[in-house]
Structure 1
Amino acid sequence: MMVKFVTLFLTSSALTACIHEERQPTYTASAYELQRDTLFPFTVVDSGLNQCFEQSPQPIPCPSRHQPFTGQDAQYTAPASQYIDNGDGTIIDQTTGLMWQKSYTLVTLAQAEAAAKEAMLGGYPDWRLPNAKELFSLVNFSGQYRENPYNSIEAAADAMPFIDTAYFDFQYPASHNLNAIFATRTRLSGGKITHGDVVYTVNFASGQLKAYPVEPSQNRRFYIRLVRGNPDYGKNRLIDNGDGTISDVATGLMWSTLDSMRPLSWQDVLQYAENLSYGGYLDWRVPNIKELQSIVDYNRVATGKPPISPRFVTSLYQRESGDIDYALYWSSTSIKRSAGASTIQFGHSTGDALLAHYHEPATRGLDLPGVQHTSLKIVQAGNGLSILGGKRQQKHFVRAVRNIH
């Protein structure tokens, strides 16, 4: 898809850089009933991806600094999930402060709400449906599926779920290998944007976060896995530093107020962030997909504005149809076996590269802001996208991130 970026004019004060110090807050997990200290109440856990890639599905040795494709997910580490199986059907993640249901059930959304109220797993009465950020924390991007998994009902022999099966129960659904759709409590009421009630979901067969319609009959069924603890998980605490950077003291991440202002290929966004000098800092990088999803504000989806704090500048671009929309953003997280990287749409969705052959909402989800895609790094004839003239690099925007030190 050819896109034209819309130039945004900014005052010089928006680009002023100054060096400043950030004092790291310290939080304790006593409120979450865990016997350990945590650094941040909304700790974004590692994606789990430990391999590097170029533009093909084949892994490569991770490149050295200043080499092409340096700066991707596997070259940066984030706090890893630290699971403990309590032996009573519950799993604690010591890193996030969340306690999870080990098993899962298939229910309607009405039944899901009742199940959460009635649950007494481990003797605790305060179970709930997870929100989109809580549930996405469980996704492990060491998972894999074959490049075109939609031609078969059965999962490929070498498929690996996008969740740690050493701790959590998971089986591929008998109906289709990618129908492992787990509901969250992140929902939108019907209106101009959604034309009906919508629920955001996480798929542990593909690692993707999508939005699906809630049928008026309420008979549509989803898988659910309940959670409890850490009421602050998923809540951002943003501070505008006044120098073109925004600190999230809930996650310990600092973001550039501006994005790249123009669409770039995946290879170019890695180089862009690695070479970025901004706000007095030199250690910027492309966010991994969990970091990028952490700043999505799902409460803003129905407003028609990008689902992110208005403190951030979000670029506009022009579709081939002529419509102006907010941008799609790259992450540094490649998707194994797909020749693609994970992205999040901050406007209306343009469609997922891996779902290009399938256009029914029941299969690919709804075209809403805040959903996650797999965008191919190289678009070429025959890979399911309608294009002309052989192959070309797919281009999106990027917002740089760094750790608060």
Structure 2
Amino acid sequence: MRKLIALFPLTLLLISCRIGTQPANEQTYTYNIVDTNVEDCFSNNSVISCPSQGESFYGQDAHYQGNVPSYIDNGDGTITDNVTGLMWQSDMGEKITFSEAITIAETLILGGYDDWRVPTIKELYSLILFTGSNGDGIEENTYVRYIGINYFLQPFGDQGNGERIIDAQTWSATEYVGTTMNGDATVFGVNFIDGRIKGYPRYIPGTQTENTAYFRFVRNNN
């Protein structure tokens, strides 16, 4: 399938009839960037009413609105992101290994499509909502997950099986080019429970046994 390409200016592109060159500090991008969805403003230590231009603390994230997160539930186990154009799997199922994820994606048929794949870290990170918040480490209802749970099923860690509540990382297809810690092969992922993006060891340290994680498959919606 062909990759969906959309043009999106992150900064305002000024066009002049007299000047045909683009200023050096302006950039254009070949993909849409999803807005953080942050609406609150902050002082040094608390939430405040968003200040007006010229006032202290003006110019925060909440003052600038981009492509607001928007999704369509296709009713067949898939979700379409209206900003990026990507189509996502709604229910990730159980945790699996990196190798299993690559194999499953190659044969998966979902929503009538067979071109599913493991997303890159940039694609996966496009689903994060910065309106999430961490909880007390014990009770699920103290957390606001960093993903649109009206569209995407996002479990917590299985505390009854010895996991922490945040042990629900979603991995990407992006592998770290080096190693971490004690020579661990590392895969980048997003934790939609605590809002972190980082690298995770592909194997249980000191072994060739693969760790397991969640994988949310994606396809280009074209």
TM-score by length of 1: 0.44
* 2:154 aligned residue: 170
- The structure-2 alpha-carbon separation of the partners of 1:78 and 1:178, relative to structure 1 and needing over 3 Å to count, comes to same
CA contact (8 A) 1:110 1:218 kept: no
Does the 8 Å contact 1:145/1:156 carry over to 2? no
- 1:227-273 superposed Cα distances (whole Å, 9 cap, x missing partner): 00069xxxxxxxxxxxxxxxxxxxxxxxxxxxxxxxxxxxxxxxxxx
Change (3 A) 1:61 1:194: farther
Q: Is the 8 A contact 2:180 2:186 kept in 1?
A: no
Structure 2 CA distance for aligned equivalents of residues 97 and 189 of structure 1: 28
2:36 maps to what in 1?
A: 47
Which residue in 2 is equivalent to 1:184? 172
| Partner Cα distance (1:68, 1:186) in 2 | 40
Q: What secondary structure sits across from 1:63 in the alignment?
A: coil
TM-aligned CA distance change 1:210 to 1:164, over 3 Å = same
Q: Secondary structure at the match of 1:110?
A: helix
SS at match of 1:135: helix
- Which residue does the alignment assign to 2:62? 74
Aligned residue in 2 for 1:84 = 72
**2:176 pairs with 1:203:** no
CA contact (8 A) 1:81 1:95 kept: yes
From 100, 106, 112, give the equivalent of 1:117: 106
Q: Which amino acid aligns with 1:217?
A: Q
Residue by residue over 1:131-179, the C-alpha shift from the partner in whole angstroms, topping out at 9 and shown as x without a partner, is 1110000001111113xx4xx3x23533210000111111212222211
Hey, what does 2:127 align to over in structure 1?
138
Preserved CA contact (<8 Å) 1:143 1:161: yes
Give yes or no for the alignment of 1:223 onto 2:211.
no
Q: Deviations over 1:270-312 (max 9, x none)?
A: xxxxxxxxxxxxxxxxxxxxxxxxxxxxxxxxxxxxxxxxxxx
Q: Following the alignment from structure 2 to structure 1, what is the Cα–Cα distance between the partners of residues 190 and 180?
A: 24
CA contact (8 A) 1:108 1:222 kept: yes
Give the superposition deviation at 1:218.
Answer: 3.5
The code of the aligned residue for 1:219 comes to: E
Letter aligned with residue 211 of structure 2: R
Q: What is the letter of the counterpart of residue 215 of structure 2?
A: I
Structure 2: unaligned runs, 5 residues or longer: 1-18
Q: 1:100 and 2:84 equivalent?
A: no
Partner of 1:127: 116
One-letter code aligned to 2:146: F
C-alpha deviation, 1:190, in angstroms: 4.6
Aligned residue for 1:121, secondary structure, equals coil
| Corresponding letter in the other structure for 2:109 | M
Percent of aligned pairs with the same residue?
A: 35
Determine the C-alpha separation between the residues in 1 that align with 2:182 and 2:22. 40
Cα distance between partner residues in 2 of 1:230 and 1:206: 29
Paired residue type of 1:101: Q
Aligned length: 192
Tell me the C-alpha RMSD between the 2 structures. 2.5
- Residue 219 of structure 1 deviates from its aligned partner by 2.6
Counterparts of 2:221 and 2:38 in 1: how far apart (Å)?
25
